[in-house]
Amino acid sequence: MYTQLLFLVCIAGYCVPVFGYPNGAISDSCDTMLPRHGNNILQTSTPPYNISVSRTTFSPGDVITVTIQSSSSGFKGFLLQARSVGGNRIVGSFTSTNGNSQQLNCGQPNTALSHTNNNIKTSITANWTAPTGVGPLRFRATVLSSYSTFWQVESDILIALQISNDACGSEKFCLSSPANCSPNNTNCMFMSSVPSADGYVFEMSGPTSGYLAIGFSDDQLMGNDDVYLCTVNSSGNILVQRAFNTGRSSPTILTTYTSASVVTRSVNGILQCSLITQTSISTQTRATAGSSYYVFLANGDSQENGQILKHATRPIISNTRVDLSSFLSSGIQIGGNRVILAHGALMLVAWMTTGTIGMIMARYMKSAAGKPFLGKALWFQVHLFLMILTVILTIIAFIMVFVEVSGWVNGAHPVLGCIVMILSFIQPIAAFFRPDPKSERRFIFNWGHSINALVIKVLSVATIFLGLQLIDTSPTLWLSKVMGGFFAWEVLFYIILETNMRIKTKEVKENSENKIASETIAVVVFICGNLAFLISLLVGIGSS
Ligand code: HEM
Ligand SMILES: *[C@@H]1O[C@H](CO)[C@@H](O)[C@H](O)[C@H]1NC(C)=O
């Protein structure tokens, strides 16, 4: 096995392969790609070599032919690797070699290629297989014309044919709604960005037959934004353009990218564009081009000629400035806008705590809290108070989000939320007009009120889950997990309380006045747990 061989040592024209570098030493060369010769000097003049690739796009598993070519006097040695553009990770594997080259182990088998002899070569060709879970990549080689003279060269950037969220946070910055969604999903709005030496690689994906736009801005308002558009015209052609938002009107088109630097796709109603830019981002009002911007993501319809119309909904806006040069720290995703977070917090208090406890009072505490209080049974007063509080909190939260989000956001959350709102309004209104307890028709109210309550309960749980996904920015989606824990806790106590109630109705009530009822204990324990879940979710939302 020659996998430990990296560079040949040549003395007086006689070359011996250097074997058995200690592992640490070989990974040194793997990382820096510099030969471990004594006095090595990296040449900074224009390299007499270049790397060409058979394709500039890839899907996982694709085999790509890579060639190192000399433009003048040839080369003696080389080390070739594929590197992710974001993060500079060694990726993929070399599959076939010939007598002049051999595969090396740089962390994984076959991740690098080098020479086997010091004959002068004018070109070297190898096959390389693309891995999964990588963003844009490029080939990089160190090429030696002699023992101490060498250059480093890079190929063009290769971009993924299909946009995915695989390398988000590790090799590219991603902004998406719902948070962390996969661009294959029909409701996923997605963009990613990777800085390269002279510009960026951008990806955008989303459900539209019109256009997608990403924007970079110094504030969270439209206007003075550097914009990249992916537009379909009526002939079905997809155009990728750079534009500038001067105000809140149709952006001015600046450049149309040629097919050499873009990849476009439109499948099952999802439009996707990837592009390689060779410019820095510029918002014209800024004196110096930095790399921290608010990021926008929008979609909408386009006219026949491909000119864009106003976005169909309010665009997605990042909640902080994003440092596009350090995609690794991309914790921030969807606009965890304060008003939207407050909406979420109020809804949680209303539906996890006040509403739930209010319903439990009415169903299970009738006998344990049956003593009169201010003229009515205690359970009823608590139920009434908590339910009115729930409705008030819901209305405030609803109005907040309605004012803040002037359009309809993607997905089922707002639809379910509206249904829950309407059904909840029916509850107090029907309760107000309920028949007298002795009336023959009272049972209709009782059944209707309970069934509606159950439907509201189920739908509200679903709505909260979907809503949390919209604001959960953690990669582990822990908010949804805590919510799942709360839901399990709730179901457990419903079972306990329901069983307790059935047993009790069978027993002859020897009402022991001074003993605390078992349901009271259960409800108190439930409320404590409930508050613990609520507080951890609120803390989670607060840090979103
Ligand atoms: C024909 C094209 C466009 C028109 C006529 C337009 C118009 C508007 C208007 C009137 C608003 C104010 C809020 C509202 O009424 O909903 C707005 C908001 C917004 N637009 Fe556009 N827009 C267009 C394209 C774009 C593009 C390409 C982007 C970049 C991604 C963008 C980003 C935004 C953002 C982030 C907001 C929300 C922040 C704000 O209110 O300023 N717009 N747009
Ligand atoms: C759509 O774009 C293509 C490419 O730019 C162009 O050739 C074609 O004429 C356009 N179609 C319409 C209807 O504008």
Domain boundaries, the chain: 21-158, 173-323, 338-542
Query: 297 falls in which pLDDT band (50, 70, 90)?
Result: very high
| pLDDT of 333 strictly over 50 | no
Of 190, 204, 217, 248, the residue with max ligand 1 atoms within 8 A of its CB, to mutate for a pocket test, comes to 248
Ligand with smallest separation from the Cα of 216: 1
Give the residue from 265, 288, 258, 255 showing the smallest Cα distance to 205: 265
Predicted confidence at residue 510, as pLDDT, reads: 52
Query: 9 falls in which pLDDT band (50, 70, 90)?
Result: very low
* Pocket flag, ligand 1, residue 308 (CB < 6 Å): yes
Q: Is 269 exposed, middle or buried (0-12, 13-18, 19+ CB in 10 A)?
A: exposed
- Beta strand extents in 246-327 (DSSP E only): 252-256, 262-267, 270-276, 292-302, 308-311, 316-317, 322-323
Predicted confidence at residue 29, as pLDDT, reads: 80
The arrangement of secondary structure in 338-542, i.e. its CATH architecture, is Up-down Bundle (1.20)
Q: How far apart are CA 139 and CA 239, in angstroms?
A: 28
- pLDDT tens-digit series, residues 148-196: 888 999 999 999 999 998 888 888 999 888 777 889 988 889 999 999 9
Q: At what angle do helices 355-364 and 478-506 cross, to 10 degrees?
A: 10
Q: How far apart are CA 258 and CA 80, in angstroms?
A: 29
* Pocket flag, ligand 1, residue 215 (CB < 6 Å): yes
| pLDDT of 16 strictly over 50 | no
**Atom of ligand 1 at shortest distance to CA of 297?**
30
- Give the CATH class of 21-158: mainly beta
Residues 519/368, Cβ–Cβ less than 8 Å = yes
Q: How far apart are CA 162 and CA 153, in angstroms?
A: 27
* Pocket flag, ligand 2, residue 44 (CB < 6 Å): no
| pLDDT of 19 strictly over 50 | no
Where is average pLDDT lowest: 25-29, 184-188, 279-283? Answer: 25-29
Q: Taking the domain 173-323, which CATH number applies?
A: 2.60.40.1210
Q: How far apart are CA 393 and CA 458, in angstroms?
A: 19
Ligand with smallest separation from the Cα of 307: 1
* Pocket flag, ligand 1, residue 310 (CB < 6 Å): yes
Q: At what angle do helices 355-364 and 378-404 cross, to 10 degrees?
A: 150
- pLDDT tens-digit series, residues 39-52: 667 888 899 999 99
Residues 6+ apart with CB under 8 A from 326: none
* Pocket flag, ligand 2, residue 513 (CB < 6 Å): no
Give the residue from 28, 8, 51 showing the smallest Cα distance to 142: 51
Residue nearest to ligand 2 atom 7, measured at CA: 237
**Domains 173-323 and 338-542 alike in fold:** no
pTM to 2 decimals? Answer: 0.67
Predicted confidence at residue 25, as pLDDT, reads: 42
- pLDDT tens-digit series, residues 95-118: 866 778 888 899 899 999 998 888
Q: What is the mean pLDDT of residues 198-218?
A: 95
Residue nearest to ligand 2 atom 2, measured at CA: 237
Alpha helices, DSSP H, located in 349-441:
355-364, 378-404, 413-432
Predicted confidence at residue 359, as pLDDT, reads: 87
Paired tokens of 453: 């309550």
| pLDDT of 336 strictly over 80 | no
Comparing 404 with 296, the larger pLDDT belongs to: 296
* Pocket flag, ligand 1, residue 296 (CB < 6 Å): yes
